[in-house]
Amino acid sequence: MHEIAQGIYLETGFIGVTLGAISLPHGLLLIDAPPRPEDVRSWRGGLLNLGGGVERMVVSLDAHIDRSIGARAMECTVVAHEITCDIFRNRPTALKFQDVQTGAEWELCNGLGNIRWTPPDISFSQRMLLYWDDEPIALEHHPGSHEGAVWVVAPAAGVVFIGDAVIPGQPPFLSNANLPVWIDALKSLLAPPYQNYLMVGGRTGLVTAQQVQEQISLLTEMHEALEDLAAHKAAPEATETLIPRFYRNLIIPEGREELFKNRLRWGLLHYYQRRYLALPAEEAVIEAEPKEKDELELEKEENEELE
C-alpha cells in the first residue's frame, strides 16, 4: 500500500482490482474489495494502520464480479450506483459459478466456494456527496465501461478513481459497455475539471493522460470495427476475427495469454449481440446453489472462511 496524496492510499498487490482507501476524520472510504477471502482478511488488517474515524464504507465502482465478490465480506456499509444495486438484486442470494471463460480475474482464483450476495446498502442515481470532512468526496455516475460505473472524486486532493474506464495494456471489458458513451467519458478526463487530477485506474493503479488517449483510440477502433460488422449483417461469430487485431499490442504478463484472449472473445461477442442484435449479455453465467444447501450451512461456511 502506498500514499499517492494526503490521506489517499492505493493497494495493487491483490488479484483482480486496484483497491483504494481515503482516510477522513469520520472514517475510511474504501474503493472496491479483493475477491479472495484471504485477501479480504489481509486488506482489512492493513487498514487498521491508516487512522481516521471509526466508520467504514465500501464503494463498488461497478457490478463486475472481480470487484463486487468480496464487498460483503468487508463487513461495512456498501454504496453503489442504483443500476449496480438492480444487478445484485437479480442475482440469486446463494451462488456458485459455472466453468465460464469471460476473461475476468476471479476465474483464476481457487477455493472461492459458495458466494452470498447482498445488494449494496446505499445507492444513488447521478451524484452523491459524502461529508466526512470539510471538503466532500463526490461519487459520480459515468456509464460507458459499465452501465452502473461510478467514479470517486476527491477534489481537495485532486484524485479521481475511474474503475475500468482505463485499463492500460489489457483488453477492456466490453460485455456491459457502451462504446460511444465510454469514449465521451474518457474525453472528459482530458478536460476540466479532471485535467490536473491524479487518475487511478481500477486494474493497474495510476494512469496518465497519454494512456487515456490510447484507450480512446482503442475503443474508437473497436467501435468502428463492430459497426462495420453490423453494417454487413455479420453473424455474432464473426467477432472472433477481430481478436488478433486487438490482441497484438497488449502487454501480456506470464500466464495471462488465454485470459486476455477470452476477455476479448467474450466481450466482443456479447457486446455485438447486445448492441446490434438486441440479445441479452451477462458478465458471467451464474447458477443457484443446490436447494439442499440451506442458509444456515452457507452462513457457517462463510464465517469459517473469514475467521
For 229-263, write each residue's pLDDT tens digit: 999 999 999 999 999 999 887 777 777 888 889 99
**Which pLDDT does position 128 carry in this prediction?**
97
SS3 at position 38:
helix
Q: Per-residue pLDDT for 306 more than 90?
A: no
Q: Per-residue pLDDT for 298 more than 80?
A: no
Least reliable range by pLDDT among 78-92, 105-119, 288-302 = 288-302
Q: Per-residue pLDDT for 297 more than 80?
A: no
What is the reported pTM? 0.88
Q: Per-residue pLDDT for 99 more than 70?
A: no
In degrees rounded to 5, what are phi and psi of residue 5?
A: -155, 170
In degrees rounded to 5, what are phi and psi of residue 45?
A: -65, -40
Residue 57's beta-bridge partner residues? 29, 77
The C-alpha cell at 68 is: 463486487
Nearest to 149 by CA among 117, 119, 181: 181
The C-alpha cell at 292 is: 439442499
Q: Across residues 117-138, what is the average pLDDT?
A: 92
Q: Per-residue pLDDT for 29 more than 50?
A: yes
Q: Across residues 109-116, what is the average pLDDT?
A: 67
Specify the amino acid at residue 294: D
Could you please report the per-residue DSSP string of 291-304? Answer: TTS-HHHHHHHHHH
Q: Across residues 268-297, what is the average pLDDT?
A: 63
Residue 124's beta-bridge partner residues? 81
Q: Edge-to-edge, what's the strand order for the sheet holding 19-24?
A: 2-5, 8-11, 19-24, 27-31, 55-59, 77-81, 122-124
User: b/e per residue, 140-168, with b = 16+ CB within 10 A?
Assistant: bbbbbbbbbbbbbbbeebebbbbbbbbbb
- d(CA 168, CA 180) in angstroms, rounded, equals 19
* Contact status, residue 257 vs residue 239, Cβ threshold 8 Å: no
Which domains does the chain carry?
2-302 (3.60.15.10)
**Which pLDDT does position 104 carry in this prediction?**
81
Q: 261-277, pLDDT tens digit by residue? A: 999 999 999 999 999 98
Specify the amino acid at residue 7: G
**Which pLDDT does position 139 carry in this prediction?**
98
Specify the amino acid at residue 275: R
**Range ranked top by mean pLDDT from 36-40, 99-103, 111-115, 143-147:** 143-147
Q: How confident is the model at residue 195 (pLDDT cuts 50, 70, 90)?
A: confident
**Which pLDDT does position 189 carry in this prediction?**
94
**Which pLDDT does position 98 carry in this prediction?**
57
Q: What average pLDDT does the chain have?
A: 86
- d(CA 92, CA 257) in angstroms, rounded, equals 32
* Contact status, residue 71 vs residue 89, Cβ threshold 8 Å: no
**Which pLDDT does position 88 carry in this prediction?**
85
Largest CA distance in the chain: 58
Q: Per-residue pLDDT for 30 more than 70?
A: yes
Q: How confident is the model at residue 112 (pLDDT cuts 50, 70, 90)?
A: low
Q: Per-residue pLDDT for 286 more than 50?
A: no
Q: How confident is the model at residue 113 (pLDDT cuts 50, 70, 90)?
A: low
Q: Across residues 274-297, what is the average pLDDT?
A: 55
Percent of the chain at pLDDT > 90 equals 61
